[in-house]
Copies of this chain bind each other. A is one copy, B any other.
């Protein structure tokens, strides 16, 4: 797969268009999501314009994924049942041609989780979203778009790379802001976004929304509802006006 790079200067317009597409088409994103942040991720998807579903029951997950538009697989709170559900979900995604995003949350804390993340990557993830410590542990196949989140977010694929400087330190004080980014990437890919562009666009949308939320928040508690409000209110103009994106070497 040889995906075209896009220029930093073009990303905001692409992101604005994809956000409009998410709102117009309301993609359903099935989330195999750790139990801690299921509610926040569901609400963030709804606020942005998508539709969440969340079961990780092995008996049901195949039917839910088959009817969904994309899938995000988050490895938090990873027990045996969830592992089984992930396998069944990826089988359904493969059979029905759905893109999926891998978020190997905290795989640096547990060797079994890291090994599981590595095995999943070989099953054709469209996008990997992880922090620096998690990225370092994994060998990443050439066809996976990488989103490395941190003070700046870095989106790369082969030689192409973009740095998105939007965002706010309060995000790191609220559990699940990284996880919701993974779900929004899936929503942006689901409406037909070329994966590199879609992933960078989702990170840009979240980052701009986070900055708007931080202007209203009085701390991490009030930041969370403000972030959902900001995702719901986010306009094309907000994205284009506030975007801070740079080209980088891949």
Which residues of A line the B interface, CB within 8 A? 34-40, 42-43, 46-47, 52-60, 63-64, 67, 76-82, 106, 109-113, 172-176, 217-222, 224-233
- C-alpha gap A43/B40 in the complex (Å): 12
One of B54, B63, B106, B112 near A111 (C-beta < 8 A): B63
One of B56, B64, B174, B228 near A79 (C-beta < 8 A): B56
What distance in Å separates the Cβ of A33 from its nearest Cβ neighbour in chain B? Answer: 9
A55: B residues at CB distance < 8 A? 76-79, 106, 110
A42: B residues at CB distance < 8 A? 36, 175
- C-alpha gap A203/B217 in the complex (Å): 26
A174: B residues at CB distance < 8 A? 43, 46
A52, B109: Cβ atoms under 8 Å? no
What distance in Å separates the Cβ of A14 from its nearest Cβ neighbour in chain B? Answer: 25
11 sampled A-B residue pairs with Cβ under 8 A? A47-B220, A54-B77, A60-B112, A64-B109, A173-B232, A218-B233, A220-B228, A221-B224, A221-B230, A222-B225, A222-B229
- C-alpha gap A213/B199 in the complex (Å): 34
One of B67, B80, B176, B229 near A109 (C-beta < 8 A): B67
A80: B residues at CB distance < 8 A? 57-59
One of B54, B221, B232 near A226 (C-beta < 8 A): B221
What distance in Å separates the Cβ of A22 from its nearest Cβ neighbour in chain B? Answer: 14
B54, A36: Cβ atoms under 8 Å? yes
One of B56, B172, B231, B233 near A77 (C-beta < 8 A): B56
One of B43, B112, B221 near A175 (C-beta < 8 A): B43
- C-alpha gap A219/B229 in the complex (Å): 4
